[in-house]
Structure 1
Amino acid sequence: MHTSRPTRTRPRPRPAQTLAALLIAAALALAGCSGASDGDDLKSAAGGTAEQDAGAAADNGRSGGKAAGAEKSPKLTGVHIIRTATLSVRVKDVPDALDKARTVAEEAGGIVGDETTDRDGHGHERSRITLRVPQEEYEDVLGELSGAGRLLERNVTAKDVTDQVVDVDSRIASQRASVARVRELMDRATKLSDVVTLEGELSGRQSELESLLAQQASLKDRTTLATITLRLSEAPAKAAGGDDDAGFLDALSGGWSAFVTVLKWVAMALAAVLPFAAVAALLAFLWLRLVRPRLPRRAGDEPVRTAVGPLPAHPESGSDARD
């Protein structure tokens, strides 16, 4: 006989508990949405602030860069320029200006090259000096030298040799590789004829490499140090009087110089003619004193004969005969 177990029935949820669970779920959902929106708002606000700060920083950086560029131009990288300048300056004291130019070049880290000092036709001292200064100090040194006195002439040139520098560097790299390959072949060569041939080839390639290295050193020196040729001349002393007196004295001096010049030319002309005039005077004297009195008289000078006798000679003709 089987006994049946009593079946247990689950209790049904109450309506009040179900309603409370629904309310709690809705509240959590609303809280999550509001939290997400608040987080998004905070993120957007923070992002906007960060973007504004970044924009302001970029603007400040651009303005700061412009201000820095206005003060001094940025140094160009990868560009090789040969800079040369020629200055002619008139100063009161040439030796003093020469010493200052040397000091300026040496303080800038440069060197002093050739120097020549002499005097012109008026006895004024003049000098010519060559200065080599770094490219970074070139403009400053040029300005100081130009302001040492009265600037008469300024000639500045800049030659871009970037392509030449790159070409020389590339050729040096290729030539070094070529020399290395020839040396490897020499190490592997076993015949004497091959060794002799490779030695000749290696000598030629090494000579070309040395020439390229010399060109590279020259370009590096000229692009690293700028060359400034400075000509200094002494200013002439001013006259004691005013400008009017100086003008009058200059005119008087010029007139006197012209007068003396004319006299010199006249004296030279007389000196050139004087030998001929002396010879002509001597010939005239000989003609009048020696040759002419011995010449026979003309027929017209004889007295006219008449039946009574010859007419008396005219007094003038008698005086001529006596002479």
Structure 2
Amino acid sequence: MRRNARTTTLGAAVLAATLLLAGCSAGSLATGDSGPVGDEQSVPVAPEMQGGDSATDGGTGFAAEERARDVIVTGSMTVTADDPIAAARDAVRLVESAGGRIDGRTEYAPANGDAGSATLILRIPAERLQAVLDDLAALGRADEISTSTSDVTVLVTDLESRIATQRGIIDRLNTMFERATTIDDLITLETTIAQHQATLEDLEAQQRSVSDQVALSTISLYLRSEAEAPKQEPMDFLSGLSAGWSAFVAFFSGLLVALGVLLPWLIAAGLISAAIVLIVRRNRRRNAAKTAS
């Protein structure tokens, strides 16, 4: 009975410590930022900084500078280049020289009259994104560039708070583990610590993933040749005349190509036809000679 009473008391103590630390974390979240940080929103300064000079903060009690937001940037880019494969190599050098990396790369060899193509998944440092995009656009003709942002400031803050809570719980449980005197107490504490450790590791993995996405923007780059690019419609008389002339030249060029392909077959067919005609005529002459005799 005494051992069961000690186990029950220990379990209650573990539960109380867990709830106390979790409650402290929830209280800190309730008093913090409850939504995404907007472009016009400020964050309250720490207590030791409040009540400062009104010339610095305007007497409002808010920080002079807005807290930096955590933003994930993703996008896509399509560039038409004379040699997409060579342009892909240049793109890799540009990204790596900026401190980024390549998470995916697919290249297609020239076929059907084009010069090949390439698709790259680029991870570019957020602070260098615009400069690298400008350099990538210079590899050819930038036909499409699009980016989107996702503000994860609240998620980052929540993960930080939850990680701190789990670490506090684990520290408290480790202290209780060192003071435990029975096998049942040790088993109960060890199981509880393992559960919270697994939760902590999962939260830390999420934090690393989000931090990587914030630090390195993800851009999907598609490099293609002019043969794959959509044809641009003429917008004025001169461009229409140029398009018409190009179509005229292309038609006769295609006709000459077709003639070159068919010419060997036409020659062979002509020779066979001539041989057949000669054989038919020779047979007719023989038949006519036999009839006359």
TM-score (norm 2): 0.55
| Amino acid in the other structure paired with 1:118 | Y
Counterpart Cα distance in 2 of 1:206 and 1:150: 52
Establish whether residue 85 from structure 1 lines up as the match of residue 75 from structure 2. Answer: yes
Kindly provide the CA deviation profile for residues 63-109 of structure 1, in whole angstroms up to 9, marking residues without a partner as x.
Answer: xxxxxxxxxxxx97431011112101110011221122112112211
Report deviation, 1:216: 0.9
Instruction: Map 1:15-34 onto structure 2 (within 5 A).
Output: none
Aligned partner of 1:223 in structure 2 is: 214
Q: Which amino acid aligns with 1:219?
A: V
Out of 142, 152, 160, the position equivalent to 1:161 is: 152
**How is 1:173-252 mapped onto 2 (pairs within 5 angstroms)?**
173-236=164-227, 243-248=243-248
Q: Against the structure 1 CA distance between its residues 184 and 102, is the aligned structure 2 distance closer, same or farther, given a 3 Å change threshold?
A: same
Deviation at residue 121 of structure 1 after TM alignment = 6.2
Aligned in 2, Cα 1:92/1:138: closer, same or farther, shift over 3 Å? same
Q: Secondary structure of 2:104's match?
A: strand
How do 1:43-122 residues align onto structure 2 when only pairs under 5 Å count?
77-119=67-109, 122=112
Shift of the 232–136 alpha-carbon distance from structure 1 to 2, 3 Å rule, reads: same
2-side partners of 1:161 and 1:103: how far apart?
30
CA displacement at 1:250 relative to structure 2: 6.0
> In the TM superposition, what whole-angstrom CA distance separates every residue of 1:264-313 from its partner, at most 9, and x where no partner exists?
xxxxxxxxxxxxxxxxxxxxxxxxxxxxxxxxxxxxxxxxxxxxxxxxxx
SS at structure 1 position matched to 2:227? coil
1:106 partner amino acid:
E
DSSP-derived class of the 1:148 partner: coil
RMSD of aligned residue pairs (Cα, Å): 2.6
**Could you say which residue in structure 2 is the equivalent of 1:65?**
none
Is residue 142 of structure 2 the alignment partner of residue 151 of structure 1?
yes
Say which SS state the counterpart of residue 184 (structure 2) adopts: helix
Distance 1:215 1:77, change over 3 A: same
Runs of 4 or more, structure 1, over 4 Å off, are 249-254
**Equivalent AA in structure 1 for residue 195 of structure 2:** G
Superposed displacement of residue 247, structure 1: 2.2
Aligned-pair CA distance for 1:111: 1.6
Q: What secondary structure is seen at the aligned counterpart in 2 of 1:228?
A: strand
Bigger shift: 151-160 or 168-177? 151-160
Partner residue of 1:138?
129
CA distance in 2, matches of 1:245, 1:216: 60
Which fold has the larger relative contact order, with Cα–Cα distance below 8 Å and residues 6 or more apart in sequence? 2
- Residues 141-190 of structure 1 show CA distances to partners (whole Å, capped at 9, x for unaligned) of 01111232122222201111000000000000000000111111111111
Q: What is the deviation of 1:251?
A: 6.7
Amino acid at match of 2:176: L
Corresponding residue to 2:118 among 127, 131, 135: 127
Question: Which residues of structure 1 form unaligned runs of 5+?
Answer: 1-57, 59-74, 258-323
Structure 1 CA distance, aligned partners of 2:66 and 2:132?
A: 20
**Does the 8 Å CA contact 2:113/2:227 hold for their aligned counterparts?**
no
2:152 maps to amino acid = V
**For structure 2, which runs of at least 5 residues remain unmatched after alignment?**
1-54, 56-64, 229-241, 259-293
Q: Report the number of matched residues.
A: 178
Secondary structure of the residue that 1:235 maps to in structure 2?
Answer: coil
Asked whether the equivalents of residues 85 and 107 of structure 2 are also in contact (C-alpha less than 8 Å), the reply is no
User: Percent identity over the alignment?
Assistant: 32
Counterpart CA distance in 2 for 1:105 and 1:92 is 20
Instruction: Say which one has the larger Rg.
Output: 1
Q: Which moved more, 1:98-107 or 1:136-145?
A: 98-107
